[in-house]
Every structure is written in C-alpha cells, then in structure tokens.
Amino acid sequence: MTVENDCSSLEIRCPRLGSPVKFSYCIIESTGQPCIKSVSCWTPYFDISRLLTEKMGRDNFEIYFSKEPKPKIVTLIELIEKAREAAGRSKSDG
C-alpha cells in the first residue's frame, strides 16, 4: 500500500496526545528538537532513523534518542523555577 504523494496525508495517532498528528508535528517541537518518540512512532512508515541521522549527525542522534528521561518530579522542579523566573520578569516589566 502506498500513500498519496502529499505530506498532509502523513498522519498517525500520537500516543502522548491521544489524537492524530502530522509528521511535521513530531519532527520539531518547541524545543527545536524532534519528539523523543518520533523514531518509534514513524519507523513503520519509513526510515526515519536514517533521515534524522543525516540531519542531526550520527553522534547527536545517538545521544539524543538514547538519553535517559528525567524523572517527572525533576521536570516539575525545573518548571517551578522557570515559572518563578517568569513571574519575576513579568512583575519587573509590569
């Protein structure tokens, strides 16, 4: 089976969001990096590993996709700090 020659047809169900997303959504997040699940999600459809290796460089690709995730609690602590900084900036601006 093939797909239409149209990028807009490339949609899968995002396991994180629980709704369909396009390839372009997965490949670059607000951090400027691909979604950490992009390789496992898109591999059935094409050789995304090769594409990302070419784009990111092999070393960066390996480092990025094999890194251990931060515990959620640690992420929350970081977000608390960011929020405090943001609040401080808003107050000084306002």
Partner 1 sequence: MPVKIQLHEDEIPREWYNIVADLPHPLQPPLHPGTFQPIAPEDLAPVFPMNLIEQEASSERWIKIPDEVLEKLLIWRPTPLYRAVRLEEHLKCPVKIYYKNEGVSPAGSHKPNTAIPQAYYNKIFGVKRIATETGAGQWGSALSFACSQFGLEAKVYMVRVSYEQKPYRRLMMNTWGATCIPSPSTETEAGRSILAQDPNSPGSLGIAISEAVEDAVTSESFGRPLTRYSLGSVLNHVLLHQTVIGLEAKKQLEQVNDYPDVVIGCAGGGSNFAGISFPFVRDKIAGKKIDILAVEPLSCPTLTKGPFAYDFGDAVKMTPLMPMYTLGHAYVPAPIHAGGLRYHGMAPLVSQLVLDGLVEARAIPQLETFSAGVTWARTEGFISAPETNHALAAVIQEALKAKEEGKEKTILVNWSGHGLVDLAAYDAYFQGKLVDYEMLQEDIDCSLKCLEDYPKPKM
- The length of the chain is 94
CA distance 52 to 39: 9
Q: Does 1 bind partner 1 (CB under 8 A)?
A: yes
To partner 1, the closest distance from the beta carbon of 60 in angstroms equals 6
At residue 21, the 3 state secondary structure works out as: strand
Under rule CB under 8 A, residue 66 binds partner 1: yes
- In angstroms, the CA 44 to CA 14 distance is 14
The least CB distance from residue 80 to partner 1, in Å, is 5
Range 19-48, binding partner 1 (CB under 8 A): 19-21, 23-25, 27-33, 35-37, 39-47
